[in-house]
Amino acid sequence: MATTSDISRGAFLRYNNELVMIMDYVHITPGKGNAIYTVKSRNVKTGKQSEIRFRSGEKIELVRVEVREMQYLYMENDALICMNQETFEQIPIDKILFGDSIKFLQENMIVLVKFDDNDEAIYAEIPKHVELTVTYTENGVKGDTTSRTLKSAEVEGGTLVQVPLFIEANDKIRINTETGEYVERVK
């Protein structure tokens, strides 16, 4: 069995019979007494975030996960049908596993899906950056380049993002899927 010294970001552990993913953790060593691990976690099933405290050296139950690259094909009800790149098997993956970044998901995109030891999908993520085409944006004001002024733009898929004034319709832009922010214009 693992101990608190095995805690790392992105690891999965079973806590109170619930599967949680470690988002972040802090190791605190007070002047007196034992060290403490404060762990920010997210429940895999519900998506609820919580904070857990462990004493240093305490036993924890880490869960091994298998990561598979899969290709997103299409949406069916509340599931995304993804194809295993090696076996070509099509598997429904619950939309909730993708979180907020699902709004940037495009057909045929390669996604990472994590499976537990029961071969059940427990977490999914799209690439950190995606390149999308701007479908609509207002014209920027000429000469307003002294400040970092932003305007709204709609990208393919219907998502609104804030972009610099020089971005126009049909420009291809790179977007950070974790924050939803504009990164750069793609040539």
* Domains 66-125 and 129-186 in one fold: yes
At 183, which helix (H) or strand (E)? strand 181-186
pLDDT < 50 regions, the chain: none
CATH match of 66-125 with 2.115.10.20? no
**How much is the pLDDT for 141?**
67
Locate the domains of the chain by residue range: 2-63, 66-125, 129-186
Q: pLDDT tens digit string along 30-85?
A: 888 788 999 999 888 777 889 999 998 899 999 888 999 999 999 998 899 999 98
User: Partners of 131 in the beta sheet?
Assistant: 174
8-state DSSP, 171: -
Q: Where are the beta strands (DSSP E) in 44-85?
A: 49-55, 59-63, 66-76, 79-84
129-186 domain in CATH 2.40.50.140?
Answer: yes
As its CATH architecture, domain 2-63 has: Roll (2.30)
Q: Which two tokens mark 38?
A: 């404060």
Taking residue 127's Cβ as centre, other Cβ atoms within 10 Å add up to 14
